[in-house]
Structure 1
Amino acid sequence: MNWLVTVAPAVAVTLIAVLVTKVGWRWFYIAAVTSKRDLTALWAYIKLLRLTKRYERENLTIADIFQMQVKQNPNKYAIISETQQWTFRQLDEFSNRVANLFHAQGFRKGDVVGLLLENRAEFVGIWLGLSKIGVITPLINTNQRGPSLLHSITVAHCKSLIFGEGFKDAVEDVRNDIPADVPLYQFNNEANGEVIATARDMTTLLETVERRKVATTADRANHHDRLVYIYTSGTTGLPKAAVISHARYLFIAAGINYTMGFRQDDIFYTPLPLYHTAGGIMSMGQSVLFGSTVAIRKKFSASGYFADCVKFQATVGQYIGEMARYILATPASPNDRAHQVRLIFGNGLRPQIWPQFVERFNIPKVGEFYGATEGNANIMNNDSTVGAIGFVSRILPKVYPISILRADPDTGEPIRGTDGLCQLCEPNEPGVFIGKIVKGNSAREFLGYVDEKASAKKIVHDVFHKGDMAFLSGDLLVADERGYLFFKDRTGDTFRWKGENVSTSEVEAQVSNVAGYKDTVVYGVTIPHTEGRAGMAAIYDPNNEVNLEVFAEKLAKVLPTYARPQFLRFLTKIDMTGTFKLRKVDLQKEGFDPTTIKDTIYYQTPKGRYEMLTPEIYEKINAHELRF
């Protein structure tokens, strides 16, 4: 015993010396300042895994878990809006009607029935009801028209389509191109409404079926079966239908619940479309799976955001994309601080406006998250660090298998070493974000799209050893010394000018701020006889409110010379996705030719001023008589 007392301190000192030599004192400092963050997240992750594993063992579906909430809270409000207040019992009974109706109509487990409906309680009731008989529901973007709507129906292999009365014209426009054996069901907000000739009256049919229980002859789904398809909006190409299984829905909704510290008595406010992951799973999942109340709105209103939070007594608010910027641009109102919101969560809150937003609206906590609907690389910022979209632990880096790889910023292709394997980025080195794929693990599985060829393009092989796989996000991120992750750009969006890499997302944020929080998209354009790509900013300013002289002066204070746009295009109309992203691909193709573009275009002079780009100036640029 005396020997142990004598030797133990020496052994401890030796171990510490070895650790210090191997990892350095700096590691201990980083471990100390990040331990609370990491341990909080680790405990949340353990609870998440325990829950998901238990439900997997019990083979529970989303409808099964919802039934638990109905039993516990039958008279509590599940979904509320300006026009509706539905309890858990009402939502359950409506979903039972849907299940029984479509079972009676001959639909069976594995069939696919598309849904085109605005935000309302019935939206949730319909996909939930269909899931009770094993039917998969593609949640179609309500902005789709013509070829894109037809594509959304056909790419998911829909055997039927349910649509709301507000979309009659959109459906009739493509009816002749939908196979004749695909029945249409029109849902009206009120009974006895007018129904188009080629559709069945779903509202009336629902009144004739049992609401208390689902037909005993109906097949139930399994925990890993497909639940819904959610379409990626993207900024290019036609929508792709991402597969969401019951297990995946649970993981997303429960993951953000535990990480953000949501409570069952929280009232969530989301003005986001329910056909997307953010509103339809992250917020609505808190009602369906955890018994909270969710307040919804048919369409986002910047001026109505905090007014709605006050009206619905919301304690948690959701945002996405540029919504926070729109809200910040509204005039001051008593509702700015009269609300009870303790937390806002979402993704896309730019660091350039983050402090102003939380100060003006008195927001105690911000939960920024990052993730792709179809991907498995999801991260969250659990301590309100400004600008961070999540973190990777420096103490326990392998607990959650996500990484940043060295990659070509234009293609997103990982850069490989001499051994043929990928290489990890160092702190503060931008790279492409990945999530390791583990088959059979609901947290690490990659379900991809309905289109298997599109899915294959998102997988990278032989990452850290031969035979392993990872989901390739296509996004460039950077991690700081403490492991906080920051979004840099989409691969292909970063461009090189004057020997420097320019991040379009960073420039967009500064240009938008200087222009008075206006919608802005930045991209690189090619100038003949000039190396690299010059920056061009398209700004939505239909009322000519931007003062170019003031704009140029302010921009010079916030952006280095190489990052300032060489061309400005002032848009009078815009094309935006459902997640508030401007479409840039067409703008980029059009370039800066004033003879083909109707919008006003300006170029930056050597003195830093912006002057109108005339056809004569354009010719001088092409002839290399005017250089940049």
Structure 2
Amino acid sequence: MGWIFAVLIALVALLLTKPGWRWFYIAGATANRDLTALWAYIKLLRYTKRHERLNYTVADVFERNVRAHPDKVAVVSDTQRWTFSQVNEHANKVANVLQAQGFQKGDVVALLLENRAEYVATWLGLSKIGVITPLINTNLRGPSLLHSITVAHCTALIYGEDFLEAVSEVAKELPAELTLFQFNNENNNSQTTEKDIARSKNLNALLATASKDKPNKAQVNHHDKLVYIYTSGTTGLPKAAVISHSRYLFIAAGIHYTMGFQEEDIFYTPLPLYHTAGGIMCMGQSVLFGSTVSIRKKFSASNYFADCAKYNATIGQYIGEMARYILATKPSEYDRKHRVRLVFGNGLRPQIWPQFVERFNVAKVGEFYGATEGNANIMNHDNTVGAIGFVSRILPKIYPISIIRADPDTGEPIRNKDGLCQLCAPNEPGVFIGKIVKGNPSREFLGYVDAKASAKKIVKDVFKHGDMAFLSGDLLVADEKGYLYFKDRTGDTFRWKGENVSTSEVEAQVSNVAGYKDTVVYGITIPHTEGRAGMAAIYDPQRELDLDAFAAILAKVLPAYARPQIIRLLTKVDLTGTFKLRKVDLQKEGYDPNSIKDTLYYQTSKGRYELLTPQVYDQVQRNEIRF
């Protein structure tokens, strides 16, 4: 009996140390989450491996859906209702026209067109002959537009007549050998107007006589480049991220299996189709899985659920600040009069998550996180409020993503004595990374067209010498159960009064208190002070904000060090394609009332916000007013 007692003592000692009783609690609490995700991951790998083995392209998979249900609606909008066969016929016409014009595999033809059925059909058609399509952000003008066309080494540009003026502005600076094709809307199908660019060809006229049969077979492969998608960040010129056929399949299939989408689902997205979320994650459900996708040319918060009801949508998509805009609308009969069972996207802030699902009676939220160019992609599939995904505590090496210790300002990894990176402990913020494995669509990093820009996103010698990982540049934190939460971008956190301040967390609270208005928070330098003080720019053109009430409520939800010291009430906003204010531009402008037309306020020692006049500004510079 003594040996049995000794074994029991040894087992208890083992459980209390490695892995310990707590491990079993965590394992029990997260087993269903992890096993559900594991099964989805297995289905995803099986899907991608099969298509790789068959050397399938995106067009091959789409044509399979065309054969299965040619008369089913693929894309629907206010003005269009295209079946799978219609999309395919238009795609074939585009391919035949461009092939007849001498374009071939490896050529690069940019697309600048609003959300419409022809958008999808155009890049699909180009892909059938091996032409790569940079998807140009429709908001770009001038130097940014010119840069996007030239950085991708385009040989042609297809643009809609709605962008005639934008293209005309840069036409003289475009390479002489670059061919321009203008696509006209239904009411101007094949006519040429005086405003047309002289060197531009009328695409509608060419399509009218083109064959709708499948083009001559081009040797397009599973791993060939498909499209370029531009990062829309808040700084610098756009960078063209490479999306191959294999990566398109992986992204669209990844969210399909993880979120449990079905072929009979009807999707609604008001997102631009040049964006990864709208163009791949959502439209990919039609292209690859045969679902119907309803689109809108421009996002409207007040019409979001009305559109969902009109199209009988079962799944809605959001991104960035969309959910906040929708929540800020007046109550409507469509708030609950819809069939939406799930909304998915990224950027639904935890501070409004419960209010959103309660008001609109949404059963499930699927929050995802990932960069267009990156391989560190995660999803929250079990409705955990605020989480953007998770890393398994039971099987952490199945999906090799990690949070490593790094400088929050520069994002530079903090290394140990051996020169290797260090994992963060639970609840310790760090930079999110994804291990790079060449040839694996879930782990490969294709980067940008610009090789130098790609190199900046790779960190080497991570956990062993010679290995590599994609460096996201985002600060995340994992709790004890492995749920991951977004903290901020590296460089966006700042230190004030000896405390680290997360701009994203402060933005969320300031926006809520200000009635869900557009808000951006950033750190500014003030003479004679340590660190950076918080400044909030709030879009309030009608001057509706009661600053006394605002300050009083803010004092209840934010600690003193996190409250903005200076407020700027914006009369106009410049948003990115993902509905983010351009933070760096505002940060550079600072808080000088002599050069800023917007009204500025500063927080007094009593906690109130008072007008920041040129006289007050001078007193701050002389250290006569202190924060």
TM-score (normalizing by structure 1): 0.97
The aligned counterpart of 2:184 is: 188
Task: Quote the residue 1:138 is aligned against.
Answer: 134
Q: Which residue of 1 aligns with 2:116?
A: 120
Tell me if structure 1 keeps the 8 A contact 2:492–2:502: yes
Matched, 1:158 2:154: yes
Distance in 1, matches of 2:574 and 2:191, equals: 33
User: Which whole-Å CA distance do the structure 1 matches of 2:45 and 2:251 have between them?
Assistant: 12
Displacement of 1:12 after TM fit? 8.7
State how far apart, in whole Å, the 1-side matches of 2:96 and 2:6 are: 74
Offset at 1:585? 0.8
The CA distance in 2 between the partners of 1:221 and 1:11, in whole Å, is 63
Match of 1:203 in 2: 204
For 1:119 and 1:283, the matched residues in 2 are separated by: 13
What is the count of residue pairs matched by the alignment?
A: 622
Map 1:284-303 to 2 at 5 A. 284-303=283-302
SS at match of 2:130: coil
State the alpha-carbon separation in 2 of the partners of residues 207 and 19 from structure 1: 74
Kept in 2: contact 1:568–1:601 (CA 8 A) = yes
Q: Kindly tell me: are residues 15 and 620 of structure 1, through their superposed partners in 2, closer, same or farther at Cα, counting changes over 3 Å?
A: same
CA distance in 2, matches of 1:242, 1:313: 34
Query: What CA distance in whole angstroms lies between the structure 1 residues aligned with 2:160 and 2:446?
Result: 29
Say which SS state the counterpart of residue 253 (structure 2) adopts. Answer: helix
Q: Which letter does structure 1 place at the counterpart of 2:526?
A: I
What is the root-mean-square deviation in Å for CA atoms of aligned residues? Answer: 1.5
- Contact 1:132-1:220 at 8 Å conserved across structures: no
Residues 522 and 583, structure 2, Cα contact 8 Å, conserved in 1 = yes
Partner of 1:3: none
8 Å contact kept, 1:539–1:571: yes
Of residues 70-79 and 360-369 in structure 1, the stretch that sits farther from structure 2 once superposed is: 70-79
Write the distance in 2 (CA, Å) between the matches of 1:230 and 1:34. 35
Write out the 4+ residue segments of structure 1 that deviate beyond 4 Å after TM superposition. Answer: 6-17
- Point out where structure 1 has 5 or more consecutive residues left out of the alignment: 1-5
Residue-by-residue CA offset, 1:591-617 (whole Å, 9 max, x unaligned): 111111111100000110000011111
- Give the drift of 1:619: 1.2
Residue of structure 1 equivalent to 2:229: 230
Give the deviation of 1:18 after TM superposition: 2.6
Whole-Å Cα distance in 1 between the matches of residues 306 and 205 of structure 2?
Answer: 36
Tell me the percent identity: 75
- Between the aligned partners of 1:251 and 1:59, the Cα distance in structure 2 is 14
Deviation at 1:21, TM superposition (A): 2.7
C-alpha offsets along residues 32-56 of structure 1, whole Å, 9 cap, x if unaligned? 0100000000000000001101100
**How many angstroms apart in 1 are the aligned matches of 2:15 and 2:397?**
19
Residue matched to 1:110: 106
Contact 1:96 1:129 (8 Å CA) reproduced? yes
* Structure 2 counterpart of 1:422: 421
Of residues 70, 82, 91, the one that matches 2:66 is 70
Q: Deviations over 1:8-41 (max 9, x none)?
A: 9997985575344312111100100100000000
Name 1:383's counterpart in structure 2.
382
Query: Which deviates the most, 273-282 or 196-205?
Result: 196-205
**Using a 3 Å threshold, how does the CA distance of structure 1 residues 85 and 8 change in structure 2: closer, same or farther?**
farther
Cα distance in 2, alignment partners of residues 7 and 167 from structure 1: 83
Taking a change above 3 Å as real, the CA distance of residues 9 and 383 of structure 1, as seen in their structure-2 partners, is: farther
Distance in 1 (CA, whole Å) between partners of 2:202 and 2:264 is 38
How far apart are residue 589 of structure 1 and its match?
1.0
Correspondence list, 1:417-496, <5 A? 417-496=416-495
What is the distance in 1 between the residues matched to 2:9 and 2:78? Answer: 66
**Partner of residue 46 from structure 1, selected from 24, 30, 42:** 42
Structure 1 residues 24-33 or 10-19, which shifts more? Answer: 10-19
1-side partners of 2:575 and 2:185: how far apart?
28
Distance 2:585 2:136 in 1: 24
In the TM superposition, what is the alpha-carbon distance from 1:181 to its structure 2 partner? 1.1
Matches within 5 A, 1:192-591: 192-194=190-192, 196=196, 197-215=198-216, 218-591=217-590
Which residue identity is paired with 1:575?
D
The one-letter code of the counterpart of 1:193 is Q
Q: Whole-Å Cα distance in 1 between the matches of residues 31 and 459 of structure 2? A: 32
- 1:234-272 deviations in Å (ceiling 9; x for gaps): 000000000000000000000000000001000000000
How far apart in 1 are the matches of 2:505 and 2:252?
30
Change (3 A) 1:7 1:65: farther
Provide the rounded CA distance (Å) in 1 between the counterparts of 2:294 and 2:364. 20
Alpha-carbon distance between aligned partners in 2 of 1:570 and 1:192, rounded to the nearest angstrom: 47
| 1:212, distance to aligned residue in structure 2 (A) | 2.5
1:84 aligns with 2:80: yes
Letter in 2 for 1:290: F
1:8–1:373 distance in 2 versus 1, CA, 3 Å: farther
Pairwise CA distance, 1:194:
2.7
> In the aligned structure 1, how far is the partner of 2:81 from the partner of 2:158?
23
